[in-house]
Amino acid sequence: MHIIYNCYGGSHSSVTAACIHAGLLKENTVPTPQELLSLPFFDKQVAKDHGSIRFIGEDDYGNKIYISSKHNLSYHYETIMRSIACILDYPNEKLLFIDTMPYVNWLMVIGGFLSRALGITAIGRPIVILGTQISFLKFSHLVNIIKTKYGRLNKECP
Amino acid sequence: MSIVFLCPTGTYASLVAANLLVGNLDLNCNSQDIYNLPYFGEFTKKPGTFLYIGAYGAGTKVYTLGTGSEAQLIIKSAYDLVKIIDINPQNLKLYDVSRFIPKFLWRLHILDNVFPFFYKKLIARWLKGKLSEIDNMLKQSMIKQVP
């Protein structure tokens, strides 16, 4: 199964959730700023990267984990991508789109805007890191639900 | 192969481009012919709705898809999706035709709620004026075979 975590810019919330899912971050331990900054694509994507689907890793069940950005398309992003899969005759049950926006707090929004849209990383990055740390357990909870509900569909844990 | 035309609703510019390609419209049609196209101006609040318009040549299916105002973002995502699900990229061609309806007309979309008949007529007339440009785009992109 291909699991695609998506958020506005594909830089913070989706990266954090995808990295928890792929085992790059421990589930129940809030990461340090250095750990967050060492994640692939964390606070790195710019406008021209938006829309690209990036591979993050595989989970214990062999599912492939990706991140993507969708701007303000909201849940329409999933509808549109599923329509394209349908046009290609690809089975929709092999695709899973996870919206991480409901777990994004105001610090992440403000810090992400300053860092990514305005390029003021010196101010934006510490704010978005603090916001990510505050919401971390929510992302962890989301990933747990996804793993429990859908992850095992690929294959049973060895 | 599948050819997909993208515009914010999937039922205005993309519908005209798709019908022009499959031969349901020609350059001599009038705005009423455009207005009378099946699904013209429908599903305006449902991005993601795709419509099968017809076949063009051997084995090529033509669709329209509504993408909101993010057609370019969706094109990137769609081509990346094609790569990750391991499908031949040649099987999908996406064309953004949003530019054939200017932003001020999209902003007037609020009229669609109040005077849907008037708004659809307005867009049909506008697209009638853009038919040759759309046809040129189809030829320049080598989608349409030049006789």
Tell me which chain B residues have a C-beta less than 8 angstroms from the C-beta of A94.
Answer: 85
What digits encode the pLDDT tens for the residues A34-69? 999 999 999 988 888 899 999 999 998 889 999 999
The two beta strands, A2-7 and A54-58, are unpaired
- What local confidence, expressed as pLDDT, does residue A156 receive? 52
- What local confidence, expressed as pLDDT, does residue B102 receive? 81
The closest of A106, A105, A78, A110 to A92, measured between CA atoms, is: A78
pLDDT exceeding 70 applies to what percent of chain B? 97
B18 in contact with A, Cβ within 8 Å: no
Q: How many Å apart are CA A120 and CA B146, to the nearest integer?
A: 51
What digits encode the pLDDT tens for the residues A64-93? 999 999 998 889 999 999 999 999 999 988
pLDDT higher than 80, residue B108: no
Least confident span in A121-125, B28-32, B73-77: B28-32
Instruction: Please check whether residue B109 is in contact with residue B69, taking contact to mean a CB–CB distance below 8 angstroms.
Output: no
CA distances from A49 to A1, A8, A120, A129, B80 (A): 24, 12, 18, 21, 12
Say yes or no: ipTM exceeds 0.85: yes
pTM, whole model, 2 decimals?
0.90
Tell me which chain B residues have a C-beta less than 8 angstroms from the C-beta of A78.
Answer: 48
pLDDT higher than 60, residue B52: yes
- What local confidence, expressed as pLDDT, does residue A95 receive? 92
Average pLDDT over residues A20-30: 93
Q: How many Å apart are CA B131 and CA B140, to the nearest integer?
A: 14
Distance from the Cα of A30 to chain B's closest Cα (Å) equals 31
Q: What is the dihedral of CA A120, A124, A126, A130, to 10 degrees?
A: -170
Q: Kindly give, in sequence order, each residue whose CB lies less than 8 Å from that of residue B80, ignoring residues fewer than 6 positions away.
A: A51, A52, A53, A68
Distance from the Cα of A149 to chain B's closest Cα (Å) equals 22
Q: How many Å apart are CA B100 and CA A75, to the nearest integer?
A: 26
Contact check, Cβ <8 Å, A51/B84: no
- What local confidence, expressed as pLDDT, does residue B143 receive? 72
Q: How many Å apart are CA A135 and CA A140, to the nearest integer?
A: 9
What digits encode the pLDDT tens for the residues A92-129? 889 999 999 999 999 999 999 999 999 999 999 999 99
Q: Which two tokens stand for residue A134?
A: 């505050």
Residue with tokens 């063009």: B56
